């Protein structure tokens, strides 16, 4: 496995950055990490990416897209190291093994900065970095596990663990001001440790000029007279697709023009398909599975819906905004920083199917409102570009450069120097 890419320059010596993420898939946190690594300034930053083993249940389409990202990283000189025991679930033996594996990788690669992503990698990676005396430790949680994931006892444990781990972290990167506010309310760390850097979106991939509505409808074989409500996300409990299905069942009682399109794959797909069948709305719901052409599919939507129970930011909301779609979403996490209620969309209480149905019905009844909200969102979306995100992250790294001292040499090398 090659060492870090990037060379020293006279004006700004290359900083070595080691990114650690639990799962390198096509989810928002992994895409954020991919863009950060792939689009960094190669003259200033040598980068390496460490990730856990790929999920065996990943669809072939998603595997192909992941391989494409890996190939893009290699082309840019970014090595990827797999840490097999780094998994999302709590597994004490595997977690301990992963911790020592990360320590070994850090000692071998000798980074100036370790930047961890997501909860599990953030916990293990930050302690491994401090044990190995890495000069700068940065963490981006990409949301948090303090709401909607676990019961009160386990949630309290995670809050305590995050507080302890924040003490050994130099900078905590929040995706939105709301996410920062929630961390401060839980006293995870003092304000001076936080910064806000949005998750970036490749705007070239979400251009409605490239993907006209008529072409999207043709690809999906959707009649022009249908009002299409679409959602995108992993089919898992926290994303709230079951709430959206209940809302669709309410809409179906009074509307014959609605079609619900669900884009994504995950462990709950079977249960959600059964829910649709039992609700008697099979004719108005389509499951498309995971697809790489998200924005092309979105071009067929009239309304984008994100019914999540918890979100750090909701990067897919920015993609929908870039495509000129009005948004109906749960009022959770950082979504309110993207969606102005009544401006580029509507916000509803999380988990409330009736409120969600009412908001969607309001959108269905008013095409002019949809167009105005979509135009407002499209105007706002470029502020969340990938280029803007990478520039802010690199500025953060430079602000920490004064803390960097030579990484401790391996014990054998130190002996040789003494001798």
Which tens digit of pLDDT belongs to each residue from 19-64? 999 989 888 888 889 999 988 877 788 899 999 987 777 778 788 8
Cα distance between residue 47 and residue 19, in whole Å: 7
Q: Identify the structural domains of the chain with CATH numbers, from first to last.
A: 15-200+385-418 (3.40.50.2000), 203-383 (3.40.50.2000)
pLDDT at 2: 44
E strand or H helix at 196: strand 194-196
Q: Which residues of 20-52 are buried (b: 16+ CB within 10 A; e: fewer)?
A: bbbbbbbbbbbbbbbbbbbbbeeebbbbbbbbb
Determine the 3-state secondary structure of 254 from DSSP. coil
pLDDT at 150: 63
Q: Of 399, 350, 357, 333, whose CA–CA distance to 258 is shortest?
A: 357
Q: Of 55, 30, 177, whose CA–CA distance to 118 is shortest?
A: 30
pLDDT at 413: 45
pTM, full prediction: 0.82
Which tens digit of pLDDT belongs to each residue from 314-371? 889 999 999 999 999 999 988 989 999 999 999 999 999 999 999 999 999 999 999 9
Cα distance between residue 337 and residue 227, in whole Å: 27
Torsion of CA 113, 116, 122, 127, to 10 degrees: -20
Indicate the length of the chain as a whole number.
Answer: 419
Fill in the DSSP letter of residue 201: B
Q: What is the full per-residue pLDDT of the chain (419 aa) written as tens digits?
A: 444 444 433 334 478 999 999 989 888 888 889 999 988 877 788 899 999 987 777 778 788 888 999 999 999 889 999 999 998 887 889 999 999 999 999 999 999 999 999 889 999 999 999 999 999 999 999 876 666 556 777 778 888 899 999 999 999 999 989 889 988 999 999 999 999 999 888 888 888 888 888 888 988 999 989 999 999 999 999 999 999 999 999 999 999 999 999 999 989 999 999 999 999 999 999 999 988 889 999 999 999 999 999 888 888 999 999 999 999 999 998 898 999 999 999 999 999 999 999 999 999 999 999 999 999 999 999 989 988 999 999 999 999 988 876 655 555 443 333 33
The β-bridge relationship of strands 113-117 and 136-140 is parallel
Alpha carbon 197 to chain centroid, angstroms: 13
pLDDT at 305: 98
Q: Which residues of 97-112 are buried (b: 16+ CB within 10 A; e: fewer)?
A: ebbebbbebbbebbbb
Q: Of 322, 335, 315, whose CA–CA distance to 210 is shortest?
A: 322
Count Cβ atoms within 10 A of the Cβ of residue 283 and give its class: 0-12 exposed, 13-18 middle, 19 or more buried.
Answer: exposed
Cα distance between residue 153 and residue 251, in whole Å: 37
pLDDT at 6: 42
pLDDT at 406: 61
| Beta-strand runs (E) in 8-78 | 15-21, 45-51
Count Cβ atoms within 10 A of the Cβ of residue 155 and give its class: 0-12 exposed, 13-18 middle, 19 or more buried.
Answer: middle
CA distances from 103 to 100, 131, 167, 182, 409 (A): 5, 8, 19, 31, 14
The dihedral built from the CA positions of residue 289, 290, 292 and 293, taken in this order, carries a sign that is positive
């Amino acid at each position: 496995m090659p060492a870090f890419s990037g060379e020293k320059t006279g004006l700004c010596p290359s900083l070595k950055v080691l990114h650690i993420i639990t799962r390198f898939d096509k989810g928002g946190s992994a895409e954020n990490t991919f863009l950060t690594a792939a689009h960094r300034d190669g003259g200033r930053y040598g980068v390496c990416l460490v990730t856990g083993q790929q999920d065996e249940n990943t669809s072939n389409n998603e595997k192909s897209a992941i391989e494409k990202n890996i190939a893009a990283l290699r082309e840019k000189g970014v090595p990827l190291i797999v840490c097999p025991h780094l998994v999302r679930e709590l597994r004490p033996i595997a977690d301990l093994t992963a911790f020592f594996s990360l320590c070994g990788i850090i000692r071998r690669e000798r980074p100036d900065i370790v930047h961890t992503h997501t909860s599990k990698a953030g916990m293990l990676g930050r302690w491994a970095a401090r044990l190995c005396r890495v000069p700068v430790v940065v963490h981006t949680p990409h949301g948090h596990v303090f709401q909607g994931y676990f019961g009160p006892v386990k949630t309290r444990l995670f809050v305590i663990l995050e507080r302890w781990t924040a003490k050994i972290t130099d900078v905590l990167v929040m995706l939105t001001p709301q996410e920062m506010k929630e961390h401060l309310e839980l006293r995870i760390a003092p304000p001076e440790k936080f910064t806000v850097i949005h998750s970036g979106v490749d705007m070239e991939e979400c251009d409605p000029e490239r993907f006209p509505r008529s072409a999207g409808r043709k690809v999906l074989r959707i009649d022009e007279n249908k009002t299409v409500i679409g959602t995108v996300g992993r089919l898992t409990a926290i994303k709230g697709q079951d709430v959206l299905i209940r809302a669709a069942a309410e809409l179906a009682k009074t509307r014959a023009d609605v079609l619900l399109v669900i884009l994504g794959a995950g462990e709950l797909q079977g249960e959600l398909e059964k829910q649709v069948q039992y609700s008697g709305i099979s004719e108005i719901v389509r499951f498309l599975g995971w697809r790489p052409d998200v924005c092309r599919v979105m071009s067929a939507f009239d309304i984008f819906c994100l019914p999540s129970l918890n979100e750090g930011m909701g990067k897919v909301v920015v993609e929908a905004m870039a495509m000129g779609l009005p948004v109906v979403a749960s009022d959770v996490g950082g979504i309110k920083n993207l969606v102005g209620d009544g401006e580029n969309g509507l916000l509803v209480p999380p988990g409330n199917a009736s409120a969600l149905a009412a908001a969607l019905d309001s959108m269905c009844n008013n095409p002019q409102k949809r167009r105005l909200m979509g135009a407002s969102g499209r105007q706002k979306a470029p502020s969340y570009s990938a280029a803007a995100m990478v520039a802010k992250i690199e500025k953060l790294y430079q602000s920490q450069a004064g803390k960097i001292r030579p990484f401790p040499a391996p014990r054998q090398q130190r002996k040789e120097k003494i001798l």
